[in-house]
Amino acid sequence: MPLQRRLPKRGFVSLNAGRHVEVRLSDLEKLPVDDVDLLTLMQAGVISATALSAKVILSGKLTRKLTLKGIGATKGAKAAIEAVGGSVVEIAAAA
């Protein structure tokens, strides 16, 4: 019998699963700081320590001014953040 038929099937596990996470606006509302970056989200327990990047999605309401640094945001989330006086600072990726 050929080797590939003798060995058990293991399936596929993505190495990137859970490395890129989504953060809701309602999660940002609960944070006690005004400047939010990836390290702040990790320390607050919003994202896991193994996350490489985060993206803010429009889910929930934001009532206070925030500054996002190095975190992506959808169009709707960016508009909601800027509507309350906050800003989104994009950091260019190294080439």
Please report the pLDDT score of residue 46 as a whole number: 93
Q: The domain containing residue 67 runs over which residues?
A: 19-89
Please report the pLDDT score of residue 9 as a whole number: 87
User: What CATH number does the domain containing 78 carry?
Assistant: 3.100.10.10
Give residues with Cβ within 8 angstroms of 82, minimum separation 6: 88
For residue 14, is it within any domain?
A: no
> What residues in the chain have per-residue pLDDT under 50?
94-95
For residue 2, is it within any domain?
A: no
Please report the pLDDT score of residue 5 as a whole number: 92
Please report the pLDDT score of residue 47 as a whole number: 93
Quote the number of domains for the chain. Answer: 1
Residue for token pair 């925030």: 66
For residue 39, is it within any domain?
A: yes
Other CB atoms within 10 Å distance of the CB of residue 81: 23
CB 66 within 8 A of CB 36: yes
